[in-house]
């Protein structure tokens, strides 16, 4: 199956590489990409040849969050449409999170907003040392609702609260301290580090790997349909606030929102 926004390949060892392929848009999440990611994850999950999945991006960014045109459409949409779109994103993340294969994040560049959510559904992730990260939603008067179950499961509440509501940009080493990534390497060492993560899985029994992952998920934070629906509702509520209207308007108008102060 071919994709418009992704590349998916499987090598003879059974290593699937799923690449976000909108480099000119910094691999920002559009409605099409979200739909294709869910379809690709389902395809990978049902493919018995696949032993390991590497999730990465083309170009200089891993994933810059929401696509501008997608965000503009949400700004102009009604509540029901916003909830439908948020639910689509949430279910795509859930399918990736529940994949019965180990998922290794190859983070070759920056990740913001939804890109942090994509990193959080990986079982482990390795980032280049120049990468920058941030949960930037509150700058727009919004909240990181849809991705929150996965981000909190990855970082834990205490660590997540350091970056979850400040919109602060942080580097790769802090991302490692926050448990968002497990290793930080130079660009030239990234592929070798990914290969070291892949190798043990090729000696492990695939069904046992899937069972062990399912066990870990069952003992971790519960990400149920009810939890997902609550995040969708919270996001829809926030979209309807005066702050969201001001923040998103300011973003598209390339000006500071009313609450932003210059402390210099």
Structure tokens at 199: 């190798």
Residue 1: predicted pLDDT: 74
Residue 91: predicted pLDDT: 96
Does some domain include residue 107? Answer: yes
Does some domain include residue 124? Answer: yes
Residue 129: predicted pLDDT: 98
Residue 221: predicted pLDDT: 94
Does some domain include residue 93? Answer: yes
Tell me the HSE value of 21 on the side-chain side, using a 13 A CA sphere: 13
Residue 41: predicted pLDDT: 98
Does some domain include residue 220? Answer: no
* CA quadruple 91, 41, 181, 155: dihedral, nearest 10: 20
- pLDDT tens digits along 198-247: 999 999 999 999 999 999 999 999 999 999 999 999 999 999 999 999 99
Q: 27: domain CATH number?
A: 3.90.226.10
What's the Cα-to-Cα distance from 251 to each of 71, 94, 245, 247, 259, rounded to whole Å? 11, 29, 10, 6, 13
Average pLDDT in the chain: 96
Q: How confident is the model at residue 261 (pLDDT cuts 50, 70, 90)?
A: confident
Range of the domain at 147: 6-188
Conformational region of residue 176, where left means phi above 0, alpha means psi within -120 to 50, and beta covers everything else: alpha
Tell me how far apart the alpha carbons of residues 107 and 105 are, in angstroms, rounded to a whole number: 6
In this predicted structure, the answer to whether residue 263 has a pLDDT above a threshold of 60 is: no
- pLDDT tens digits along 52-71: 999 999 999 999 999 999 98
Tell me how far apart the alpha carbons of residues 252 and 244 are, in angstroms, rounded to a whole number: 12
Structure tokens at 64: 């810059």
Indicate the SS3 state at residue 77: coil
Does some domain include residue 96? Answer: yes
Residue 262: predicted pLDDT: 66
Does some domain include residue 222? Answer: no
Partnered with residue 184 across adjacent β-strands are 127
Does some domain include residue 264? Answer: no
- pLDDT tens digits along 122-179: 999 999 999 999 999 999 999 999 999 999 999 999 999 999 999 999 999 999 999 9
Does some domain include residue 116? Answer: yes
- pLDDT tens digits along 63-114: 999 999 998 999 999 999 999 999 999 999 999 999 999 999 999 999 999 9
- In the chain, count H helices and then E strands: 11, 10
Q: For the chain, how many structural domains are there in total?
A: 1
């Amino acid at each position: 199956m071919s994709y418009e926004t992704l590349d998916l390949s499987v090598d003879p060892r059974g290593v699937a590489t799923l690449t976000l392929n909108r480099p000119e848009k910094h691999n920002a999440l559009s409605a099409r990409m979200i739909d294709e990611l869910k379809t690709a994850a389902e395809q990978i999950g049902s493919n018995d040849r696949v032993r390991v999945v590497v999730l990465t991006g083309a170009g200089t960014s891993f994933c810059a969050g929401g696509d501008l045109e997608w965000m503009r459409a949400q700004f102009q949409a009604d509540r029901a449409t916003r909830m439908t779109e948020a639910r689509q994103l949430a279910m795509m993340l859930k399918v990736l999170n529940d994949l019965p294969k180990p998922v290794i994040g190859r983070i070759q560049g920056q990740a913001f907003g939804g890109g942090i959510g994509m990193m959080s559904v990986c079982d482990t992730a390795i980032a280049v040392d120049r990468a920058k990260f941030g949960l930037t939603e509150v700058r727009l008067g919004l909240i990181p609702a849809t991705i929150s179950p996965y981000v909190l499961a990855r970082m834990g509440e205490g660590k997540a609260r350091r970056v979850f509501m400040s919109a602060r940009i942080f580097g790769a080493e802090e991302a490692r301290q926050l448990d968002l990534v497990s290793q930080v390497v130079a660009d030239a060492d990234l592929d070798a580090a990914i290969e070291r993560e892949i190798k043990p899985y090729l000696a492990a029994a695939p069904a046992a790997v899937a069972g062990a992952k399912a066990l870990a998920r069952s003992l971790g934070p519960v990400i149920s349909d009810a939890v997902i629906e609550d995040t969708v509702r919270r996001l829809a509520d926030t979209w309807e606030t005066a702050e969201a209207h001001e923040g998103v308007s300011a973003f598209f108008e390339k000006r500071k929102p009313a609450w932003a102060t210059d402390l210099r």
